[in-house]
Chain A
Amino acid sequence: MATPVIIPKLGNTVESCIISSWKKKEGEKIEKGDILLEIETDKTTFEVDAPDSGILLGTFFTEGDIVPVLTNIAVIGSQGEDFESYRPKSEEVKKTPPEQPVKEKDKEEIEIPVVEKETVVDQQAVKEEDWTSGGISPRAKQFAKTHSVKLDGIIGSGPHGRILERDAIKYFHTTPRFSSLAGKLLDEGWTHKGTYSGTGGMIIREDLRQPGKRLSTIRSTIAKHMHSSLMETAQYTITVSARADAILSLRKKIKSIITEHSIPNITINDMVIYAVICTLVSHPELNAEFIGGKVYQYEDINLAFACDTSRGLMVPVVRSAQKLSLKELSLAVEKLSNEAVSGNIAPDDLTGGTFTTTNIGGMGIEYFTPILNTPQVAVLGICNIDLKPVKTGEGVQFIEHIKLCLTVDHQVIDGAPAARFLVALKDNIENFENIAGLNI
């Protein structure tokens, strides 16, 4: 006659217990009074004795399972005896998910967990989602109290991540300590770099990094925009250099007459932008945006130009720029630049661009790869003016050239049309009088 082993009722308030460990295996011969298993309640652990001698015919639960009291958990009897009738009905108990291979892991070398506040938060979030959040066993709590361990955020090896005493002990032994100084610094917002340079792997000052600076709103916007530009497009850059003698001589002329005549201070940058606008008129495929798989080509050229301000990069927009004369364009660029720098530019003047130029040539930059101002499909980088050897009838001459870098989105613009645009632009700059006239 087989004898069932039941979870004893350990008190009026105890509804269920956790099986902490089996001391005997199925098929093992046992004597009455042998310790069969250890169970854990909210308050303590208990040992369950064998109620009879015989063979441990079967066990119905594994370590970590929560079992209601007075449930059959095993059967003792003679070899070959049928015991299935003792198996508790499945709805009587809630089985835990398959046991995590904690035991094997324990034996291996334990990696020191990285204590990052973010991780802790994440784990708590996961735990809260779990309807049966395992909680902390009383013994684990006691250990934590006596050893000054904070168990918040760790996932235990018990059911539903319940933190058992063994988890608390393991955590205590494997969590890196912070030096006194490092502790103070952490409170001030320093964060752990992930290294452990102190004695015995202690975290010391050199393992921490100073609190980071929050990005300003404008900087965050730039960061997001730049990152998404590189993530979402197939941009590439081509470069060319254009003879600059035409624009330089015009610039010289303007400089010489600016005081006597009421003309705007038309800069090299203005002239290049003017040439860009003229070129875009004949190459409208670059005056476009690529949104949601569709190309939107525009008649109006809303020329955006990058502007360095103390609050970060701003890109004011000259609307319907193809309608402006060189003088008008120069005045518009100057006005918008001043407004951007002083911080009183209207938000509307920062939106709606269809093509962008960016100029760091004034600082002597020879080449760079501008990043697309998405969803626009092209951006022109304007570089410095430098001497370039050119073979002429009289031998080799050094002639001033301005360098131009065009970045386009290969999703929409292939190399040849981009090259055609850039060559046309070069031509317009080299023969600037043809587009602007020399009568200022």
Chain B
Amino acid sequence: MYDLIVLGAGPGGYEAAAHAGEMGKKVALIEKKHIGGICLNSGCIPTKTLLHSAKILQVLREAENYGIKAGKPDIDYGQIQKWKKEVVSLLTKGIEGKLKRSGVETIWGEGHLIAKNTMTVNKKDYEAKNILIATGSRPAVPPIEGIDSPHVLDATAILELNRIPKSLTIIGAGAIGLEFAYFFNEMGTEVKVIEMLPHIAYQMDTEIASYLLKSLEKKGIDFALSSIVTSIDKEGISYKGENGNIEAIQSEIILNATGRLPNLENIGLDEIGMLYDTKGIKTDLQGKTSVPGVWACGDVTGRCLLAHAAAREGIVAVNNMFGKKDVMRYKAIPNVIYTHPEVAAAGMTEQMLQQEEINYKKNILPLNISGRFVAENEKKQGYVKVLTGSQYHEILGVHIIGGVASEMIYGIAAFIEMEMSVEDIKEIVFPHPTVSEAIKEVICQIK
């Protein structure tokens, strides 16, 4: 009898398993394919290695502006792929080590619930006091004619592509679509992005998203917004544009980045009477499902499809199952798009505030009020937008585009988690010269 069986070794599952192991619990982790899940094997991490290569390329192209003559850079796509594999392999070992140190037993195979406390893997039954479902998600396949053509790839498949395509059409301008758009555009591919909504990066503040759109367009990426894909054939893709006309374009590769679906199938949810819908398993803020003793975290719950949210959800569930009260808070989960410029946000967007009729103040400043930003970003722009409560001046949301926004946003998450106000933050000393000073500056200007 285990204290906990975790189904799925993605960032939600393995962090939870390791945490329970560190608490001295007897833990088994069931995984059918890869330790690290989508995040490590075909998501967050491999895309970051590709994007780093793209950013180096961009730096080299712009090096002359900073007094460095690097000549015309060449791309060795094989080496880019090799580096990606090395990184993944290195990090996999890291996670395996962590699981081993925490005493977690890994069971390889497909897990299936046959009772609320029994999991079958490879025809063998395993019993546990608690079961945590962390089976993640997979790319959604919209009902478009020709979507099953061989040149239509999803995010996992495009990572394995062994060449740089001449042309690429991306369906969906969410974080995944935009990151691949940026990457392949830098690699020299002709990139077109088709988005159903009138703006890109739907989860981001629309004002910040419009700055991102401008800077990606400037790099040569072609966007078709408010457009719906109608069909896909051998040569390319047809879509109904903003003006209602059907347009057809040729495209060597098409990337389906339209969203993700929870992995609910073949794990025995119906056998144990689990409550779920197409978005995912229903959970409360402690990670409990409708079945006592069965918990869920990560993409499979459909709450927040981000690796870092999944990890926290898993830890919250483990804490609660072993008697330590804990609660999941979603109000300060950072959201990042790793394009260049990077976009990072924590807290509410201006649209959310308007929708919820919360009174707020808005301050926005260009990042070039920071000396370091100017020194390192010749002729480029960036912005930091701060939304605060009208009455108590608490930080409601911060949205940054430019610089290494992703590395600064955790500080904002802390401000929001601690419910700090403008007055509190004014007392914090920020290092000089850094891009983060712009955040302090915009906050200091709030009256």
Contact = CB atoms under 8 A, between A and B. Distances in A.
B392 A184 contact: yes
A204 B327 CA distance: 13
Interface string A180-207: 1110110000000000111101101100
A352 B288 CA distance: 57
B418 A205 contact: no
A197 B420 contact: no
A184 B418 contact: no
Contacts of B424: 180
Given A181-B421, A182-B419, A197 B392 contact: no
A185 to B, nearest CB: 7
Interface string B210-253: 00000000000000000000000000000000000000000000
A179 interface: yes
A185 B392 contact: yes
Interface residues of B, number: 12
B420 A179 contact: yes
B327 A197 contact: yes
Q: Is the interface of B mostly helix, strand, loop or mixed?
A: loop
A222 to B, nearest CB: 33
B380 interface: no
Contacts, number: 33
Contacts of B325: 196, 201
A145 to B, nearest CB: 21
A283 B332 CA distance: 69
A210 to B, nearest CB: 13
Interface in B280-338: 325, 327, 329
Nearest to A182: B419
A205 B418 CA distance: 10
A184 B421 contact: yes
A347 B56 CA distance: 87
B22 interface: no
Among B329, B418, B419, the one with the most A-chain Cβ atoms within 10 Å of its Cβ is B419
Contacts of B418: 179-180, 198-199, 202
Nearest to A197: B327
Contacts of A204: 419
A181 B392 contact: yes
A161 B329 CA distance: 39
Given A181-B392, A181-B394, A184-B392, A197 B419 contact: no
Q: Is the interface of A mostly helix, strand, loop or mixed?
A: helix
Interface string B424-436: 1000000000000
A198 to B, nearest CB: 7
A46 B418 CA distance: 42
B417 interface: yes
A184 B420 CA distance: 11
A197 B329 contact: yes
Nearest to B417: A199
Nearest to B421: A180
Contact of B417 (A184, A196, A198): A198
A181 B393 CA distance: 9
A7 to B, nearest CB: 46
A179 B417 CA distance: 9
Contacts of B394: 180-181, 205
Interface in B404-422: 417-421
Given A180-B424, A197-B329, A205-B419, 14 more contacts: A179-B418, A179-B420, A180-B419, A180-B420, A181-B394, A181-B421, A184-B392, A197-B327, A198-B329, A198-B418, A199-B418, A201-B325, A204-B419, A205-B394
26 contacts: A179-B418, A179-B419, A179-B420, A180-B394, A180-B418, A180-B420, A180-B421, A180-B424, A181-B392, A181-B394, A181-B419, A181-B420, A181-B421, A182-B419, A184-B421, A185-B392, A196-B325, A197-B327, A198-B417, A198-B418, A199-B417, A199-B418, A201-B325, A202-B418, A204-B419, A205-B419
Interface of B: 325, 327, 329, 392, 394, 417-421, 423-424
